[in-house]
Amino acid sequence: MKIKEISLSNFKSFKALRISSDHAFGDLNLIYGYNNSGKSNLLKFLHILFKRKYGGKVVTITENDGSTRTISSFTEGATNFWEGQLTNSQFLFNNNDTSVPIEFTVKFEEKKSVLPSNENLNKIYKPNNEFIITGKFVNHSHNVSNVILISSTLNGIEIFTRKGNDSVYFPAIKTLTGDSILFEELLKSFNDSVVIIDSDRYFSSESDNPDNRELNPKNFKNWLFQLYLDPVTYEKYNDLILSLEDFKPKASSSKPLLDSNFKNYPLNNIDLGFTKTKDDLSIMLNKIGRYPIESYGTGVQQIMYILAKFIYSNPKILLIEELELNLSPEYQTELLNYLKHLCDLSSNNLEQILFTSHSAYMVKNTKVDKFYAVTINDHGESNARLLPRTAAETYFDSPAMQEIFNV
C-alpha cells in the first residue's frame, strides 16, 4: 500500500492541502520544516483516517425539568476505517470550527496476489490496484464526529457512492449492486494499516496492569514480558530479537573511534532478561554486566522501541515523528538505511515510510526518495510542497528556500 495523492481541508492547521500525483509520495519520504509548522498534523491525519473507528451512539436524555443531557457509549475499534465515529475530535478541526466538516480525498495503490472471491470483480482487479476514497468527518455532538464515506473507486470504476442517506455499492457493476459484504472484503485489509510512532518514546516505570490496548512506551516492558511468556506469541518475541540483532551499524575503517562504538553497540548479540518487583518491571540487558535497559543511552531505547512497534504492528505504511531523536548522526544514517531495507523486503507488509525530521543528516541521506517541506503562514495555515533534492539539502536558511516559499 502506498499513498499517492492527498486533498485535505479544515484539518488542524491545514485549511487546504493538495499533494497531487505529480508530486506523489515515494517509498521513503522526509517531511521537514520549522517547529510548529504542521509537519505532525499530516502524519496524524493519515493515521486517524486508516485507524478503525469507534462504534456506538450518543443518546440525548430529557430530564424531568425539561433540560437535556447526552450520554456517549462507544467501543474503540468496533468498526472499519471508513465508518463509525471519532471521539475527542473537537481539536481536529481547523481553528476548532466544528461547523465546517473535514473533507478529504486520498488516492493509494495496493499490490495484491490474492484475488477477490467474486469473478465479476476480478475483471477490474489488477496486480497494481488504485483506490480513491472521498469522505468527511462531520461534527455530531460535543466531542464526537461521524465518519462519512462519500465515494470510492477501484481502478477508475466506482465501487461506492452515497446518495442522500443511502449507500450504493458497485453502481457501475450491475451484477454486484448492493453487495456491501464484497465491498468490505476489498477495503477491510486497510484497517489499521497505517501506524504512527510519535515523538514520546521514553520508557518509564510501569504498573502491574498497564493499558495494553496499543503498544506504547508506557506499557512496552510489560508488553515485551507477556510476549516472552506466552507460547502463542513467543514467535513474535523471537522475531523482535532477530530484528534487533539484524540492525548492525556498519564499521568504518577510517573512523576507529566510531568502529569501537559500533562494536560495543548494546543490541549486538542481544541477551535479554526480566526482573519483576512489586512496583516495576525491568528489561535486563546482558552485555558488560547485567543492567536495566533504562541505564543505557536513550538512543538505544529509541531504536528498540521503533523496531518493536514495527514488528508488533506489521504496518503497510509507517509514520515516524522526529526519527533522529537522541541519535548521533551516524546512528541516524544507520537507522534510516535499515528502515529502507525493511521497506524493500517482500517478507513483510511495509511499502512506505513517512517521517518528520529537523536533521540535516537525514536531509542529505541518499536513501530518501522524496522531500516535503511544510510551512505555515501568518494566518496559521500550513502547506506542504515537494522539493527537489538540491533544494532540500539547503534546508530553510538559504536564499533559494526563502524564494521558493516566499517567506
Query: What is the Cα–Cα distance from 147 to 135, expressed in whole angstroms?
Result: 8
Report phi then psi at 308, rounded to 5. Answer: -65, -45
* Cβ neighbours, 10 Å, residue 61: 9
Question: Is the distance from CB of 146 to CB of 79 less than 8 angstroms?
Answer: no
The Cα-based distances of 282 to 190, 198, 216, 237 in angstroms read: 35, 23, 16, 16
- The pTM assigned to this predicted structure is 0.86
Residue 346 has what DSSP assignment? T
Please state the φ and ψ torsions of residue 29, each to the nearest 5 degrees: -125, 130
Numbers of helices and strands, H then E, in the chain: 11, 19
Do 160 and 152 meet the contact criterion of CB atoms below 8 Å apart? Answer: yes
Grid cell in block for residue 183: 465491498
Contact 108, 96 (CB under 8 A): no
- Which residue stretches of 35-144 are H helix? 39-50, 119-122
Distance (Å, whole) CA 238 – CA 244: 10
Structural contact between residues 98 and 137, judged by C-beta atoms closer than 8 angstroms: no
Q: What is the pLDDT of residue 70?
A: 61
pLDDT at 359: 84
Q: Per residue of the chain (407 residues), give pLDDT as tens.
A: 899 999 999 999 999 999 987 788 999 999 988 889 999 999 999 999 999 987 765 566 777 777 776 655 556 556 899 998 888 888 999 998 999 999 999 999 987 656 667 777 777 778 788 999 999 999 987 788 999 999 999 999 999 999 888 889 998 888 877 788 888 888 888 999 999 999 988 887 665 555 556 788 888 888 888 888 999 889 888 888 888 888 776 655 555 555 566 666 667 777 788 887 777 788 887 766 677 888 778 888 888 899 889 888 889 999 999 999 998 888 888 888 888 888 888 778 899 999 999 887 887 777 889 999 898 999 999 999 888 887 777 755 555 545 544 44
Q: What phi and psi, each to the nearest 5 degrees, are found at residue 159?
A: -115, -10
